[in-house]
Structure 1
Amino acid sequence: MIWRSRKVVLALSLSLMPMTAVIAKNNFPDQPIRLLVGYSPGGSVDIVAREYAQQLGRLLKQSVVVENRGGASGTIAAQAVVRAPADGYTLFFTASPTLTVTPAIQKTSFDPVKDFQPVAAVVSYTNVLLVSAQSPYRDVQALAAAAKANPGKLTYGSAGIGSSNHLSGELFADNAGIKLTHVPYKGNAPAQGDLIADRITILFDLNTTAKALVDSGRVRALAVTSAQRNPMFKDVPTMVEAGYPKFVFDGWLGILAPAGTPADVVKTLSDATQKILAEPHFREQMQASGYTLMPGTPKALGERVAREGKQFDDLAERANLRQF
């Protein structure tokens, strides 16, 4: 009887092992989460990522550590995430151009659709077409007319090849049927400096950083690239209103995980993000910084990555922008 009892206990223990293993595996998160950011500390993406990380850690009752892996238009961080275990403990907080623009222009070691599991979008932003205070151009039509009369002589700055302001400049040239000369910089700040000094003709700057320049009177805003007017620039028309119905560009910031991350882990992270977006403090902070909140599903983010990737791939082909 004693032997039989021991056998029963052993059998019960063995039968419970798979379930225990599953429970342990799904007890997410039970260790710190790494949030990789492909941009330098203190920049606009990094600031949002750190606020998000703080809120995510509070909700999940676990540390969320931001790691900056700047360089190569965010692709260094992207590659690190792709190589990480697909367990939800290494996440990618990125601006959209890293996944939708850069692969269309530069050769990357990752596939933005196949190598990532979308988790959630966080906020969207728009670009603002700026000229210096000394510029003779007061509206987009006058600017486009000058560009047509002087092919290649008007210049536009950017934070580098594959950045959102680079592609905004190319979208403008493509939609207006004009030729502009691209002047890439190592970030937005030096491009802003040369715009203020009137050394470049235009800059499609982020609305989050353009506001202070416009308010200071050092630059003028001619148009925004969003589908509707931006609340931060209520008197500034959209590019659609300026006569370019196909010119709409909204960038976004979001979170992705390595492909193959378990569905229950993705759901935990996505559900937590939706709660963060619904919190008044986070919402007010993001809106004050010029962002628009983007609640939604992992599927919706994945569809957007694929759709915008195709859009910019087609543009890169038409405008001969490929670097490979």
Structure 2
Amino acid sequence: MTRRQLLSALIFIAWCAAPHAQQTPTFPSRSVTLVAPSSPGSAPDVLARQLALRLSKKWNATVFVVNRPGAGGDIGSESVARAEPDGYTLLLGSIANAVNPHLVAKVRSDARALVPVSMIATAPDILLVHPADGINSVAEFTSWLKSHPSTPAGHPGIGTTPHLSLSTLALQSQLPFIAIPYQGGGAAQHGFVANQVKFMFGTSMGVLGQIKGGRARPLAVTGSTRIAALPHTPTMVEAGYPDFVIEAWFGVFAPGGTPQPIVDGIAGAVREVVTDQDFEDRLNTLGARMTFMPPVLFAKHVSAEHERWGRLVKAANIRID
């Protein structure tokens, strides 16, 4: 264990030992709004509804999920950043909050304008190829791609984690391929199944259906560990890319200026519901993994992610025209 990991572990233990849930006995005294900055059925929406259901029972107060999609999640994030900082309007944010500021000149809102409350889940991307192409491993894929320059590869849009995964693959491997952007995960999967592109990275929460249906073959996941839904699929690290770890993350944010006792109280409630085995099992079936972080560690993670993706965006010359 590194010194940084040890410090994080000590911070986590100390935070968990404190009675956060008892610091705000009157919260909530009315319904809470949880904004999902994406369309119904999307990964953030699914997670928001799973979380809202359990928090409603925990608090004995209704937690409403409101979808506010658009601008890569910025519209929903902005609405929460401008809300009253009292804990009654929350955001189910994601890695997009750390990536978008590097892609848009005038981003509406980013994670730095919000208060990180707690991370709840992570989900890797999955490298997919067509079963009919006979490619069974990353090594075979690498060899095949070297002999097929200018191969088209699909992704759901600029700045999405699959796009970041493709960009990372390009930088680390120097393999020749052409990245084709689609308008969303559904469109990217449709293009893949229609053989418009020969391979793609897809979010684990979005492509398991294609894998189970035999329309896509998984070669590797981009997470730090294998996922329960695909226990026999190796990580990119295991497949020979030691620095290839990319995971979408999802977490709760509050408006800037929200009092710390309220933030800690919400985080305490979130921890209680997401560490329940039922929630973990549900995430596993979706291709995700329960990953809880308290406010201080989540804030450090968001900051580190902002710096990390800024470097990649610059190195890969990623931009939204």
TM-score interval, normalised by the smaller of the two chains? 0.7 to 0.9
Which ranges of structure 2 fall in alignment gaps of 5 or more residues?
1-23
Match of 2:185 among 184, 188, 201: 188
Deviation at 1:116, TM superposition (A): 0.9
Deviation at 1:197, TM superposition (A): 2.1
> Does residue 257 of structure 1 match 2:244?
no
Match of 2:119 among 113, 118, 121: 121
Q: Which residue of 2 aligns with 1:9?
A: none
Q: Which residue of 2 aligns with 1:74?
A: 73
**Deviation string for 1:259-288 (max 9, x for gaps)?**
111011101110000110232322222222
Q: Identify if the C-alpha distance between structure 1 residues 295 and 192 changes in structure 2 by more than 3 Å, giving closer, same or farther.
A: same
Deviation at 1:224, TM superposition (A): 0.8
Deviation at 1:207, TM superposition (A): 1.7
Q: Secondary structure at the match of 2:318?
A: coil
1:153-302 correspondence runs (5 A): 153-302=150-299
Match of 1:134 among 108, 132, 145: 132
Deviation at 1:212, TM superposition (A): 2.3
Q: Identify if the C-alpha distance between structure 1 residues 301 and 110 changes in structure 2 by more than 3 Å, giving closer, same or farther.
A: farther
Which ranges of structure 1 fall in alignment gaps of 5 or more residues?
1-24
Which whole-Å CA distance do the structure 2 matches of 1:240 and 1:104 have between them?
Answer: 26
Give the structure-1-normalised TM-score.
0.86
Deviation at 1:108, TM superposition (A): 4.1
Which whole-Å CA distance do the structure 2 matches of 1:234 and 1:58 have between them?
Answer: 32
Q: Which residue of 2 aligns with 1:89?
A: 88
**Deviation string for 1:242-272 (max 9, x for gaps)?**
2110000111111001111101110111000
How many equivalent pairs are there?
298
Deviation at 1:137, TM superposition (A): 3.3
Q: Which residue of 1 aligns with 2:305?
A: 308
Asked if 2 retains the 8 angstrom alpha-carbon contact of 1:160 and 1:186, the reply is yes
Q: Which moved more, 1:122-131 or 1:208-217?
A: 208-217
Q: Secondary structure at the match of 2:34?
A: strand
Asked if 2 retains the 8 angstrom alpha-carbon contact of 1:112 and 1:305, the reply is no
**Deviation string for 1:102-143 (max 9, x for gaps)?**
222223435635311001111111111001223353332333
> Does residue 317 of structure 1 match 2:314?
yes
Asked if 1 retains the 8 angstrom alpha-carbon contact of 2:77 and 2:109, the reply is no
Deviation at 1:203, TM superposition (A): 1.4
Q: Secondary structure at the match of 1:311?
A: helix
Q: Secondary structure at the match of 1:114?
A: helix
Q: Secondary structure at the match of 2:132?
A: coil
Q: Which moved more, 1:177-186 or 1:163-172?
A: 177-186
User: CA-atom RMSD, angstroms?
Assistant: 1.9
Match of 1:105 among 99, 103, 106: 103
Q: Which residue of 2 aligns with 1:4?
A: none
Identity of aligned residues (%): 30
1:8-47 correspondence runs (5 A): 27-47=26-46
Asked if 2 retains the 8 angstrom alpha-carbon contact of 1:55 and 1:276, the reply is yes
Which whole-Å CA distance do the structure 2 matches of 1:44 and 1:194 have between them?
Answer: 20
Deviation at 1:215, TM superposition (A): 2.1
Q: Which residue of 2 aligns with 1:11?
A: none
Q: Which residue of 2 aligns with 1:18?
A: none
Larger radius of gyration: 1
